[in-house]
Amino acid sequence: MAVLDQILDGVRANLPERRKRRAELEKAVASLPAPPCFASALQRTTVALIAEVKRRSPSAGAINPGLDPVELATRYAAGGAAAISVLTEGPHFGGSLDDLAAVAAGVARPVLRKDFILDEIQILEARAAGAAAVLLIVRALDDALLLRLDRFARSLGLATLVEAHDRAELDRALAAGSGIVGVNARDLDDFSIDRHRAWELVATIPSDRIAVAESGMATAADVAEAAAAGADAVLIGGALAASGDPEAGARAVAGELRRGR
């Protein structure tokens, strides 16, 4: 079974229990102030860095299992990160909504909930925990559900980062209408990486969308390659989370000038 399918099966198994909190979460969300604008944070002259709080992954194993999410995110921000991504999937990545809530409350950067979202309840959870944006993975969703979740997130004031991996998925992501579109160099079926193919797709994203290059980057040279393809932002996880000096690591990759598309 593909890695993505294993993860999605686990998410589906937990949804019935999580849906029981819908009324409670809707009440909590109704009284919250508007979240910070995720899209605005990514619009700068340099390639915006979305730095990720990540304990482990199926491909890399343990990355930084004992991390303090607020301390790590604070150091990312000091190094120039424009936004913070927090992995909240537990079984495979070691994350939680508690990590997201702590970072959103403790760090002055917009926060992305990075998870495998299949249901509106997960978007409500994200909003209640203080997220400014959620990740929607095209490969995990049919067109109708992708559109519904995108619209629901935006109705709550959340931005959506709609992620594709291949040409067909990118076409679907663009059709969904989100202003922020990502191309993941990692194939979530087997976790292999092909940056060259991914950045070719980044170059085709219309200039009125924010293009995010995701995965497989660790150095300023890697970010420069993404920038040359027209990336407006990069999402970097494992390399920064594993760094002995995440502030310096963030600073090293946060200064590349945007080239446009």
- What is the set of active-site residues? 52, 54, 114, 163, 184, 214-215
Spatial CA neighbour of 229 closest among 207, 185, 193, 260 = 260
Q: Where are the alpha helices (DSSP H) in the chain?
A: 3-19, 22-30, 38-41, 69-78, 97-106, 120-129, 143-155, 167-176, 195-202, 220-228, 238-241, 246-253
Spatial CA neighbour of 130 closest among 155, 150, 111 = 111
Spatial CA neighbour of 159 closest among 143, 135, 183, 130 = 135
Rounded Cα gap, residues 260 and 170, in angstroms: 18
One-letter amino acid at 235 equals L
Enumerate the β-bridge partners of residue 56: 62
What would the two tokens of residue 26 be? 């809707």
